[in-house]
Structure 1
C-alpha cells in the first residue's frame, strides 16, 4: 500500500489475501491509532501520523524509566567529586560552622557540643565553636551537546536505536529535573547538523552518504556552547567509529577510509579549540576497533575528558547516571 497509510488498507481485502487473523490485526492497529490520536499522542498530517509534543514527552519518560530501572540490576558506580561552595539543597550531614557557610543550624548537635564542653548544667551556654550546620549540595548548571554518530555503520550494527533512546531520555531528564540546563543535539555523518529530540523519529538515511565527520560536529558544538558564558560545558559523543571525514577550507567534505592522518589532525585541531574554551569531551564508544581506540587516546590526551566502552544495551545507564552524578557536588 506504499505511503497510503493504515486508514487506506481494506480489511476485507486483507482477509481474502491473508486470512481472518491478519485482518483482525489490521483492525486492531486502526483502533490503536485512533486511541493514540484521541489521547493527544499523535496527529495526522497529510497522509501520515506524527508524534505530538505530548507524545514525545511520553516516549522520553518511558525511555528514562526503562534506563533507570536497569540500575537495580547493575553495579555501575557514580563518580564522586567534592567542591567548596555555598547554597544548594540541605543534606542530613552536619559539620563545624565556618565563616561563609549557610547557617542551616543543626540544633541538636550544637546543644550537645555545648553540654560536652561545659558539662551537664543549666542554662546551657552556647559558644561560637559549638555551632554545627548542615552540609549542602551544590547543584551545578550545565550546557551539553549530545553528538550522535549517524554513519551507516550505526544502523548496520544496531547502535542507532540505543543512541536515539538515550537522546530522548536525556532530553526528558533535563526538562523535568534540571530545567536551567541546556541540551543541544547534533547528528554527524558526512556533515554535522542540528537536530531536535522530536526530529529524531523523522531521520531519513541516505545510502549514498559516507563519512564520520567529528570535526564538523565539534565545530558546531563549540559554537552552540559559546553562547553560554557560565556553568559547565560538555560534549557527550556517541560513536562506533573513528573520524573518516572533515571539512576543507572551501566547505567541501573530504572523505577517505581508512582515515587519513589529515582528517585525524583536523579533528584534533577542533578538539583543541574546544579544550581552550573549557569544553569537556566525553566519548562513549560502541565498538572496539584499533583505529577508534588510537584516536580516542589522542583525543583524551588533548581534552582530558573521559572515554568509555559500552554496549548499546548499557549505553543509557552509563550516560544518564554519569550526568546526574556530575550535577551534585558536596560542599565542604
Structure 2
C-alpha cells in the first residue's frame, strides 16, 4: 500500500506502508482477559495457586481458542508424521537409478554398434555384467570407463553432479536447486567460497577475526547466504545447526547406507578437494559449537525417500519441533510465553497457530501487567483487589440476573437504593433509579471535553459515561454472618467452588452497595475460622473430616456481639450434619455419625445466637433425608427456614435471602 505526499521542494514523494514491526501494534484492540480471569479465578477457588491457575489456563486455552497443550499436540503429530512418511535412502535410490539407466544405455549402444571390435565389445559387455553389487563401488569402477553411448555418459556424469549438489545442500540449504546445471566456473566459485569460509572460521577459532573480515567475506560470497547474517556469530549459528542436523541424519542411517554415501560423496563433482573443504568446514563448526547435538539419531520408517539435503532439512525440522515442544510445555524454571519462537511455530504449523500463541502471550502479559495478578514478596502471585472486585461483580451480576428472572424484573435492591444518602456517588448503571449527582456529572463532562476545544457558551455536552448517581444506604444496618461448610464432602461432591462463588458475590454486594453493613465470612470444617475474602478464595480443599457447626456458631455470636446496634443475620451453607464440636479447653472433638454431645452443644449455641433476634436461613446442599430432617428441626427452633437450591443457584439464593432480610428492616422495596 502506498500514498503520495508533497515534498518540501514542491515535488511529490511516495510513502510506503507495511506491517508494523516496532513492537506491539499500538492500534491493536486491547486483549479481553475477562474470560481468562474467570477461568483462573475458578481454578484458584478450586485450590490452585494463581500462578498455577494462570499456567493451566494457558495450557488448555479459552473457549474456541487453542492452548499450549493443543499446539504441543499438533507439534508432536507433525514430528511423528515426518518420521513415518519418509526414509533417508533418496540419494542412494536416485544414484542407483542413474547408474542402472547409464548401464542400460551403454548395453544398447554396444549391441547396435556394428563397427566395434568383437573382443572390445565382449570385454565391455563383461564389465557391464559384472559390476559390483555396491552402488558406490560400481560408480568408482566406472569412473574411468570410456563410455560409448552419449546418453549413458551424460547419465553417469549426472551422478557426480547430483552427489555434489546433495553434499552441498547438506550444509547450505537450497544449493541443490541453485547449482542445477552448474558450470565449471560455478563449481570453482563454490570451492573458492569454501576456502574463504574455512579461513574465516579458522581466524574466529583463534580469536583473530574482525568485523571487516566478515564484511569482506559477505561482499564476495553473500549470494550463497540468503539469510543475510549480520555477524560471523549469526553465520556460524545457522551453519552449525545445519551441519549438526546433517550429522544426525547420517547417524540415523544404517551402517551400510552411511558407508555407501561416504564412498559416493568422495566422487562428488569429481573433485576430492571439494570433500576436503567440506570436511574442514564440519570440523571447524563442530569445534566452535560443541554444545549442539552432533550424536543424536532419528527413526525414519516411511516409504518416501529423502535426499541428503532434504533429509537434513527434515532433521532440522524435527529439532525445531522438539524445541517448540519444550517451549510450549512451559515446564522449565522461569518459563514464559515470550520464550515461544513464533517464527518457528509459523514455519511448522502455519500462521493460525502463531496467532493463537501470540494471543495467549498477550493474555499472560496483560494479566501480569494490568494489576489483576499481584506479585507477593516471595515471588508468588495472588489475585489482586482489582481482580477480586471484577470477579465479585461478575458473580453478583449473575446472581442479579437469576433473581430478576424469578421476579420478572431487575432486582433494584442490588443498587442499595432505598435509604439515606451516603454522600458518595458512583457511575450510573443500566436500571439505576437513584437521582443524578449533578455536580459530579457536569464535572466529568467538562473534564472529558476540555481537550476538544471550546464549545458554545453556556452549553455542556453530557454523555452516558459522564453520569454519576447519588449512592444511598438503607436506614437500618445489618451484621451478616455467612457460615460456609468446608468439610471433606464439600470438596468431593463438587460444592467447593459454588460455595466460594457465593461468598464472593455476597461480599461484593455488601462492600459496594451496602457499605454500612458488616459481613463475617466463617468457614467450619474440623475447626471454624473467620476469614477475609482473599483467604477464603484461595483456600484449598480440606481433606479432613469434620463439620464443626458448633464452633462456627460461637464465632458468629462473637461477631454479633461486636455489632450490638445492627440487625443480626445468620446464613448457613452446609451439606452435612454436625460431626464435631469444640471442647472447653479449645480442642476439637470429632465422631461420626453425629454424637449426642455434639448435637447438644450445637443446638445450645444456636439458641444463644438466635436469642438476639437473629434472622436465620439454612441452605441445604444435597438430598440426604437425614440432613433435611435435622435442618428443618433447627430452623423451626430458630424461627428461620431452610432452602435447598441447586448449586448453580446457590449464589442467587444467598444474595436473595440477604436482601429479603434487609427488606424486612425498612418496609416495601421498589422492584423497578
TM-score bucket of the superposed structures, by smaller chain = 0.7 to 0.9
Which residue is 1:264 aligned to?
A: 599
RMSD: 3.3
Alignment of 1:230-245 (within 5 A): 230-245=565-580
- Partners of 1:23 and 1:196 lie apart in 2 by 42
Which residue is 2:372 aligned to?
A: 41
Q: Aligned pair in 2 of structure 1 residues 239, 27: CA closer, same or farther (>3 Å)?
A: farther
Instruction: Give CA deviations for 1:224-280 in whole Å, capped at 9, x if unaligned.
Output: 110111121011110111101111222221111111121111100100111223323
Q: SS where residue 33 of structure 1 aligns?
A: helix
- Partners of 2:501 and 2:542 lie apart in 1 by 21
Q: SS where residue 74 of structure 1 aligns?
A: helix
- Partners of 1:171 and 1:314 lie apart in 2 by 17
Which residue is 2:561 aligned to?
A: 226
- Partners of 2:654 and 2:484 lie apart in 1 by 13
Which residue is 2:505 aligned to?
A: 169
- Partners of 1:25 and 1:15 lie apart in 2 by 14
Contact 1:225-1:233 within 8 A present in 2 as well: yes
Q: Aligned pair in 2 of structure 1 residues 70, 277: CA closer, same or farther (>3 Å)?
A: closer
- Partners of 1:30 and 1:52 lie apart in 2 by 20
Matched, 1:67 2:396: no
Q: Aligned pair in 2 of structure 1 residues 63, 262: CA closer, same or farther (>3 Å)?
A: same
Contact 1:235-1:279 within 8 A present in 2 as well: yes
Alignment of 1:179-328 (within 5 A): 179-207=515-543, 209-328=544-663
Q: SS where residue 251 of structure 1 aligns?
A: coil
- Partners of 2:577 and 2:599 lie apart in 1 by 9
Could you state the TM-score of these two structures normalised by the residue count of structure 1?
A: 0.73
- Partners of 1:228 and 1:242 lie apart in 2 by 29
- Partners of 1:55 and 1:143 lie apart in 2 by 26
Contact 2:479-2:563 within 8 A present in 1 as well: yes
Contact 2:632-2:641 within 8 A present in 1 as well: no
Q: Aligned pair in 2 of structure 1 residues 205, 162: CA closer, same or farther (>3 Å)?
A: closer
Q: Aligned pair in 2 of structure 1 residues 270, 62: CA closer, same or farther (>3 Å)?
A: same
Q: SS where residue 272 of structure 1 aligns?
A: helix
Could you state the TM-score of these two structures normalised by the residue count of structure 2?
A: 0.38
Alignment of 1:73-112 (within 5 A): 73-74=405-406, 88=419
Alignment of 1:19-58 (within 5 A): 28-45=359-376, 46-58=378-390
Give the unaligned 5+ runs of structure 2. Answer: 1-47, 60-67, 73-320, 330-344, 410-417, 422-472
- Partners of 2:586 and 2:498 lie apart in 1 by 31
- Partners of 2:492 and 2:514 lie apart in 1 by 34
- Partners of 1:279 and 1:251 lie apart in 2 by 26
Instruction: Give CA deviations for 1:88-131 in whole Å, capped at 9, x if unaligned.
Output: 469xxxxxxxxxxxxxxxxxxxxxxxxxxxxxxxxxxxxxxxxx
Instruction: Give CA deviations for 1:194-218 in whole Å, capped at 9, x if unaligned.
Output: 11111123213342x2100000000
The answer to which of 18-27 and 215-224 deviates more is 18-27
Q: Aligned pair in 2 of structure 1 residues 60, 24: CA closer, same or farther (>3 Å)?
A: same
Q: SS where residue 565 of structure 2 aligns?
A: coil
Q: SS where residue 374 of structure 2 aligns?
A: strand
**What displacement does 1:290 show?**
2.4
Q: Which has the higher strand share?
A: 1
- Partners of 1:155 and 1:14 lie apart in 2 by 39
Q: Which has the higher helix share?
A: 2
Matched, 1:154 2:484: no
